[in-house]
């Protein structure tokens, strides 16, 4: 596996769902012949821990407002896991190269986490839970697909992760413009209503 493309790809995936990323890499390394996955990710304790944490996040991520609270808690966790995975995947690279790869993985994870958390905050302005479930399920599928592809075709996965990150950033921009406009309209309506009743 190419270290830098893989660092970016797993960084993106870690920012969305770090435990799923670790679990999928570990399973692919252990059972699907992805030889370049570090052995430490394929051990039984790591797989059990990642599986248990993924199961918890799978549920928490689909409940409005609980998902945003979980995202707040994960602000440090997801980028840290992204950096650790990138460092592990850099293998025999020089110390400086490992540091660059780990930093890249951590920064991409932080950016994709910020996109996810922002979009979830925007989605939570809608009172129904269906949008949360759909968004979370879509994220789970995207992480599984991109990480699985990255284990065998890192360059192709890098392109897909990059496109998904750019789409996410654009979606955040438009979502918050829409929310801001709605808030300003609501505020103007309240002021108008307050003036007319006074």
The answer, yes or no, to whether residue 51 has pLDDT greater than 70, is yes
CA dihedral 79, 84, 90, 95 (to 10 degrees): 100
User: Dihedral of the CA atoms 159, 47, 50, 20 (nearest 10)?
Assistant: 30
Question: Which domain does 75 fall in, by range?
Answer: 3-197
Task: Give the percent of the chain with pLDDT over 70.
Answer: 96
- The total number of structural domains in the chain stands at 1
Span of 65-74, 119-128, 163-172 with lowest mean pLDDT: 119-128
DSSP string, 105-151: HHHHHHHHHHHHHHHHHHHTTSS-SHHHHHHHHHHHHHHHHHHHHHH
For the entire predicted model, the pTM comes to: 0.88
Per-residue pLDDT tens over the stretch 182-198: 778 878 887 887 776 65
- Per DSSP, the three-state class of 71 is helix
- Closest among 195, 179, 66 to 122, alpha carbons compared: 179
Which of 77, 86, 87, 72 shows the shortest CA–CA distance to 50?
Answer: 77
């Amino acid at each position: 596996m190419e270290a830098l493309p893989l660092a970016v790809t797993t960084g993106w995936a870690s920012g969305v769902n770090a435990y799923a990323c670790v679990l999928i890499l570990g399973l692919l390394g252990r059972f699907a012949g992805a030889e370049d996955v570090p052995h430490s990710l394929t051990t039984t304790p790591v797989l059990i821990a990642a599986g248990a944490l993924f199961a918890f996040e799978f549920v928490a991520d689909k409940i409005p407002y609980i998902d945003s609270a979980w995202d707040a808690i994960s602000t440090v966790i997801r980028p840290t896991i992204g950096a650790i995975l990138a460092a592990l995947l850099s293998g025999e690279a020089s110390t400086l190269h490992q540091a660059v790869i780990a930093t890249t993985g951590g920064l991409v994870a932080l950016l994709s986490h910020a996109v996810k958390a922002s979009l979830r905050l925007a989605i939570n302005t809608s009172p129904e839970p269906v949008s949360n479930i759909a968004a979370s399920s879509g994220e789970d599928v995207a992480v599984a697909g991109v990480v699985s592809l990255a284990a065998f075709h890192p360059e192709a996965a890098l392109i897909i992760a990059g496109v998904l990150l750019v789409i996410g950033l654009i979606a955040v921009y438009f979502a918050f413009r829409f929310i801001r406009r709605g808030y300003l309209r609501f505020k103007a309506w309240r002021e108008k209503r307050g003036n007319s009743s006074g």
